[in-house]
Amino acid sequence: MFINRTLGTWLLTLGSLLLTLSLMAEVYTPYTVPNPRTTDGKAFVADPDHLLSADERNAIQDAAEQLHTLTGVEMVTVLLDDIGEADAFDFAYDLFNEWGIGDSETNTGVLLFFTMQQHDIRITTGKGLEGFLPDGACYYIIADDIIPLLRHGQYGAGLLAGNQAIIQRLTTRQAQQELLLGYRPKEPKEQPWKGLSLFALFVAMIAGLAYWAAPRCPQCKKKGARTKDEVIVYATYTASGRGIYHHTCRSCGHQWDEPYTIAKRTRSSSSSGRGRGYSSSGGSSGGSFGGGSTSGGGAGGKW
């Protein structure tokens, strides 16, 4: 009887120890988070603890792919169950720089970082996006679009809403043009008027093209309307999207709307059969992020 009790106590202690070690192994550091690019060179979602459903991961992945196609911005979403006593700001900062999210020259990367046990959500931006995604904008995206859904346990819907809010800010006509051009102002070294002349010529060409492309006012028949582009429904691989151009005539002030259709997205032949390796824990290298970095821009919150 004594031996049985001793054996039972020993087994119970061993089981508790193994459980404790197992739980400890699940606490991540910025350097142990599985990089999804190790198995999928086009992945933008890391969910090693499977906190999302497959459909939720795919929806967030599709949104990130859309943004990358339209602007070149790398938008990465990372969900972790537990980061222990680590500070979420420092963790996201180190993870962003460890993976090199965004282009190495323009630093146009953005990280949505979610931790379940700490109830933290952060948006961390590369320096090249701070003009389009300032800290205040990141704060309101978190407070208005993400946290209300997280508080109802809708983690996938909340993160997708955050992705879509970021897309909306980065795909305005002005933002998209500047991001695709990769404009980076530099200090003139010699004969600065030459650079200014070329820039003025470029601005004049853009202005001329914009004038001829501008719609004609249905009331006064003149060109030169101011146009605001609003995307109502983003296009996916299975359905087309919808948008509206809001026009205001510069001459007479007449306002009118012009709806338009956004074509369905298409997959390239090289990626049509690839798997969704978002929760990779290793494997052969399938690609990497662009080598970007962050200086700590963004915002965070708790739900």
Cα–Cα separations (whole angstroms), residue 129 to 6, 106, 123, 221, 222: 63, 9, 12, 39, 36
What is the rounded CA–CA span in Å between residue 28 and residue 15?
22
How many C-beta atoms surround the C-beta of residue 98 within 10 A?
A: 15
**Cα torsion for 159, 234, 265, 286, to the nearest 10°?**
-20
- pLDDT of the chain along its 303 residues, tens only? 545 556 656 656 655 655 554 444 468 999 999 999 998 989 999 999 999 999 999 999 999 999 999 999 999 999 999 999 999 999 999 999 999 999 988 899 999 999 999 999 999 999 889 888 999 999 999 999 999 999 999 999 999 999 999 999 998 888 877 777 664 444 445 555 555 566 677 666 766 665 666 678 888 888 777 777 776 766 555 566 677 878 888 888 888 888 878 776 554 333 333 333 333 333 333 348 999 999 999 999 998
Q: Say if pTM beats, i.e. exceeds, 0.75.
A: no
Residue whose entry in the numeric block shows the structure tokens 């459903």 = 53
Residue whose entry in the numeric block shows the structure tokens 């979610």 = 114
How big is the CA angle at 92 (ends 91 and 97), to the nearest 5 degrees? 100
How many C-beta atoms surround the C-beta of residue 185 within 10 A?
A: 6
What is the rounded CA–CA span in Å between residue 11 and residue 16?
9
What is the rounded CA–CA span in Å between residue 106 and residue 117?
34
Please choose, from the candidates 243, 235, 242, the residue with its C-alpha nearest in 3D space to the C-alpha of residue 265: 235
Please choose, from the candidates 150, 149, 160, the residue with its C-alpha nearest in 3D space to the C-alpha of residue 59: 160
- Non-local CB neighbours of 75 within 8 Å, separated by 6+ positions: 44, 63, 64, 67, 68, 109, 110, 111, 112, 163, 166, 167
Cα–Cα separations (whole angstroms), residue 231 to 9, 114, 168, 188, 260: 64, 27, 8, 38, 9
What is the rounded CA–CA span in Å between residue 152 and residue 127?
33
Provide CATH code, domain 36-178+286-298. 3.10.310.50
